[in-house]
Amino acid sequence: MTPCWLHWTTAFPHADDPQNGLFVAHGLEAVPDVEHRVWHIKADQTPGTAPLPAGPWKGVCIKSPGGWCGLRWKSQSLHAVRFPVDAVLLHLPNPDAWPLWLWAKMRGIPVGIVEHRSAWLREFPNKSRAYKWFLRALFNASHGVAVPSEFLGEALRKAGVKAPITVLGNPLPAPTTVYPRTAAARGHRFGHLGDSVGSIKGQEFLLEAWALHAKTHPNDTLELRGNGPDRAHWEQRWGHLQGLTFGDGVPREDVERAFSRWDTLVVNSPVETFGLAAAEALDRGCAVLSTQNGGVSSWGTHLPGIHFRTGAWDDVPNLAEALSLCAQQAPPSAEDREKCRTYFEPLRPKSWGADFSDWVRRLKPTLR
């Protein structure tokens, strides 16, 4: 009999949250031998339900109000579960996932938590005492927590999470289309990917560094891709810089094409829980310039083609110096690219999905 997993998630592919939602969806796609039932909980002042995007899953987007009204709404929604469930998985849960935990507890169903948010490092310390207590208690009441890196796992432990933590990485699909890498006519081609243009990924400091770099490297180019509330302002302020172009966020199917155009991907964020863009760039033959941001540092230190700069994310002179150094370096060799692809083999969907399934089965010894 095909096992059934019930997924509770605050993120699923939609326009408001493209990145986190895809992380969740890719995880489900990597486990094809399971019936995935998804509840996408999306805050909305007008409660109701909506269909999910097409995929190897069944479920619904539940638009729920916040606060106690939302908890009541979510609790009442559990009456719709009339199918056998082998495991409950809470993806990026907030304290309002407690009703589902209680429902699973009463039925002897194991509960696992899948977490990859950098908010544990940036926002959790500033949350209210009650919020932190309830969220920490939810994690500790689970049978296990899966994270993409030891860096995030350590952050959870420091926040008081005592439940077993397993590092699984992020699923990394192999390139579906291998685009030929073309040599630049002149200059070095830098790129930056982000689901949004805003301060959280360090784009503002990258633009300030580019203003310095462009003065001495007029043939170099930087393509900054992403949308968001700050893009129009920054495009107006920085759009005149030599070699700088802005572009819309890159759909997942176009990522390989973007990396084939660039010599170096710039990652300037202060915190990454894994650093999927950096992994994809190396996997596709594009060099990487990165901050020491925890996530990328946890797996990329010994890989060829990646350069970690010594300065902080907001150290503009250090970033400008690093850009100049990268502009003088040759692209990763065929041997370097092969080393990276070999390193990432355990993260291919088939291998990653097998590890994910094994983790779910180990949440409770009686789970079959």
* Per-domain boundaries in the chain: 4-171+348-361, 189-344
239: pLDDT confidence band, cut at 50, 70 and 90? confident
| Calpha distance 21→325 (Å, rounded) | 36
Closest CA to 25 of 16, 36, 12: 12
Helices (H), the chain: 18-29, 67-77, 98-106, 119-122, 129-141, 150-158, 203-216, 231-238, 255-261, 276-283, 295-300, 316-327, 334-343, 349-361
Q: Which of 125-134, 147-156, 243-252 has the lowest mean pLDDT?
A: 243-252
Give CA–CA dist 228/223, Å, rounded: 16
For the ranges 69-83, 151-165, 210-224, 267-281, the lowest mean pLDDT is seen at 69-83
pLDDT at 297 over 90: yes
Tell me the residue type at 84.
P
Q: Has residue 86 got a pLDDT over 90?
A: yes
**Is there a common fold for 4-171+348-361 and 189-344?**
yes
Query: What is the residue-averaged pLDDT of the chain?
Result: 88
- What pTM was computed for the model? 0.91
* Mean pLDDT to the nearest integer, 286-308: 94
Sequential DSSP letters for 287-301 = EEEE---BHHHHHHT
Fold of 189-344: Rossmann fold (3.40.50)
CATH fold of the domain at 4-171+348-361: Rossmann fold (3.40.50)
Strand partners, 30: none
CA atoms within 13 A on the CB side of 36: 26
pLDDT of 206 higher than 60: yes
